[in-house]
Amino acid sequence: MTRRGWSLFLALSLIWGLPYLLIRVAVGELTPASLVFLRTTIGALLLLPAVLKSSRLRALLPRWRAILLFGAATSSPSWR
């Protein structure tokens, strides 16, 4: 494998594996539900500017009820 291939492989390994290590550390301080909420919120805040800039959010607005229903049906709250 080339040097570039090894570099990409190591970068991917770091990017893929580091969150699991951080989750393991964070679970000692936070509840799993709050950790999932925090990760989802951070992800949404990072992706929202790109979605707003591309104006693709407008195409989803007519289907907001179906999206809300899907989100509620596929979520697994800890109170169940």
Q: What is the pLDDT of residue 39?
A: 84
Provide Rg for the chain, Cα atoms.
18
Q: Please state, for a pLDDT cut of 90, what percent of the chain lies above it.
A: 31
In a domain, 19, yes or no: yes
Asked whether the predicted pLDDT for residue 78 surpasses 70, the reply is no
3-class secondary-structure state, position 75: coil
Determine contact, residues 40/49, Cβ cutoff 8 Å: no
pLDDT score, position 79: 52
What is d(CA 21, CA 25) in angstroms, rounded to the nearest whole number? 6
* Domain carrying residue 12: 3-74
Render pLDDT for 14-37 as a digit per residue (tens, 0 to 9): 998 888 888 888 878 888 888 888
Average pLDDT, the chain: 86
Tens digit of each residue's pLDDT (9 = 90 or more) over 60-69: 889 999 999 9
Does a structural domain hold residue 14? yes
Q: What are phi and psi of 13, to 5 degrees?
A: -60, -40
In this structure, is residue 80 part of a structural domain? no
- Per the structure, the count of domains in the chain is 1
Domain contains 44: yes
